[in-house]
Structure formats: structure tokens, C-alpha cells
A and B are shown apart, each in its own frame.
Chain A
């Protein structure tokens, strides 16, 4: 019955919002809509086909900051938009070039960040459209440590099952390839959900002369 009351609240608010949808009410109702959406979307994750930006008007966005960032390494913060994957690729390549990584290692890190970030943007859900994604790369000795943080629905990529690679290419389901690639090119992948954020950390040995 708890779930039903959430639905009822949501639809009452939705109807009120639509009836009073004038600019001066948008900020106030936008806040309700933001909370209602958050409640709705913290049910088990549904598939997301909606690519439109959330129209919450002046709703406050939760800040999404890295907890343990320090001055080592570099961070990039991007809006939750597919067009922002290109800057992430550039960011990774620049970091690799500056640190003398081999082309192969730079490729692996670039690919990893693309796969993780595009999954977040495509599957993250309406709740996180207005929240940034933060990517942090740092070096600890010969190890590159990548951290990706987002404010989307809780989602643990380490639990995604591997695709069936024994099936011939043409018979295979198209899915799970991105995470599979990341698992193969990274040495380690760890996930936690903390303070309302998905935090994914990946590590890879990188030597300046790695081939």
C-alpha cells in the first residue's frame, strides 16, 4: 500500500502541476516534481527510453562532488549528455600523452571511460539528467586509478552478466558488450553506492613503456 500512496501522490501532484503550469508557479511545483520523480525512480530501475531533458524549471539540483579528490591527477565534470563523451575521450588521451602512456594503454583507458560514461547517460534515468558526471584519473605509482561518480539510480556495473561470447556474432544478443570490454582492459573494478552517488573505481597497471 506504501507504493500505491506514492503513485497517488505523484499523479495528484502531476495533475496540479499541469493545471497551474504558469511561469511563476514552476519553481515551486518544480520542486515537488523533482521529489516525486526521485521517489518514483528509486523503485527498481525501469528501462529508459526518454531522451528529453528534465523540465523541472528552477528545481535545485543535488551537488555531486567527488569525496576524496586531491590535487593528484585530473578531474573532468560533464553534464549528463551524449555530446559530452567527446570531451571525456579528449581528457583521457591528454592525460595519457602527458604521462607517457603507450597508445594501447591510452586506448584502453579512453575506451573504458567512454563505455562507463555512455552507460550512465543512456541508462541512468530521468533523475540524473540534471546532475553532472565526474571523472577523476590519478596515478599511484605505476597504476592508473579511474573514478567515475554519478547521481543516477543505484546501478552496479560489476553485476552485469557477461555476454554469451560462444554464440556466433550474428546470433548474439546485442548487450553487455561495453562492461565486458571494461572488465577485459582494466585490472580491477570496484563499485559502491555512497551518499546518493554511484562510485565506480577502476585500476590498470600502466608503465611508461608499456606495450
Chain B
């Protein structure tokens, strides 16, 4: 199974990245490469839409661990959306979930982002 990664800018400093297929020992570096230009923008938030991710191994999980470390330095964070049950299980085993917000739907994410946006405006306003 191959990996394809698409990404888009959701709003200022917020990116949505969608890995599709298999994130394993042979494909994890493709996701890393895809994240490099995004990291250079010092994003506030990277949302991973995991709806199309069928398989993940420890090398795949490491990409998220590394990413969270890197983002922490610039005050950014990671959240995830729509994990398939087997993928959720892997993250639970590694206990990655407590420090990563998981949204169960796009609506929930949008509400969260709207809230974040309002809080930012109030701070700056």
C-alpha cells in the first residue's frame, strides 16, 4: 500500500494534512518531506485528517512524535481528525492521545477553530 499526502491551508497558520494509505517503514519519509515546507511557516496548528489512513507502524507514529516536538519550539500544536479504529488503537497503545486533541468530525474541528479565531481576535482587538 502506498502513501499519498495532500495538504491545504485552512486559515492563517492552520494547515490540514491528509495522509492516505499506509504510513509505514517505507513511506514515513514521504510524510516528513511533505511537512517540511509547512514547518518552515511556523504553523500554529496542523490538523491531520486521518480518514484515509488504513495502516500505521511505529515509524509512522514517530513522524507525529517528532512533529509535536518541533512544533512545541515555535508554539504550534497538532490535532487529529477521523481516525480509523485500528489507527486509534495504535495511538492509544503508545499513549499518544492525551497530548493530542482528537476531533471526531469536521464540524467539531471547525467549531474549535472558530473559537480559537475569536479568542485571537479578542486578544488582539
Contact = CB atoms under 8 A, between A and B. Distances in A.
Contacts, number: 68
A68 interface: no
Interface residues of B, number: 29
Interface in B5-26: 22, 24-26
Given A169-B65, A177-B58, A181-B58, A111 B25 contact: no
Contacts of B103: none
Contacts of A89: 1, 22, 24, 55
A178 B58 contact: yes
A120 to B, nearest CB: 12
A97 to B, nearest CB: 14
Nearest to B98: A168
Interface stretch (B33-41, B44-52, B86-94, B117-125): B86-94
Given A171-B69, A177-B58, 15 more contacts: A82-B25, A86-B26, A89-B1, A89-B24, A103-B86, A107-B55, A114-B25, A169-B68, A170-B68, A170-B71, A170-B99, A177-B94, A181-B90, A184-B93, A185-B93
Interface of B: 1, 22, 24-26, 55, 57-59, 61-62, 64-66, 68-69, 71-72, 85-86, 89-90, 93-96, 98-100
Interface of A: 82-83, 85-86, 89, 103-104, 107, 110-111, 114-115, 118, 163, 165-166, 168-172, 174, 177-178, 180-181, 184-185
Q: Name the prevailing secondary structure of the A interface residues.
A: helix
A82 B57 CA distance: 14
26 contacts: A83-B26, A85-B26, A86-B26, A89-B1, A104-B85, A104-B86, A107-B55, A107-B86, A110-B55, A111-B57, A115-B58, A118-B25, A118-B57, A118-B59, A165-B94, A165-B95, A168-B99, A169-B65, A169-B95, A169-B96, A170-B68, A172-B65, A178-B57, A181-B58, A181-B90, A181-B93
B58 A170 contact: no
Contacts of B69: 170-171
A180 B94 contact: yes
A168 B57 CA distance: 19
Contacts of A83: 26
Nearest to B93: A184
Contacts of A185: 93
Nearest to A106: B86
Contacts of B62: 174, 177
Nearest to B85: A104
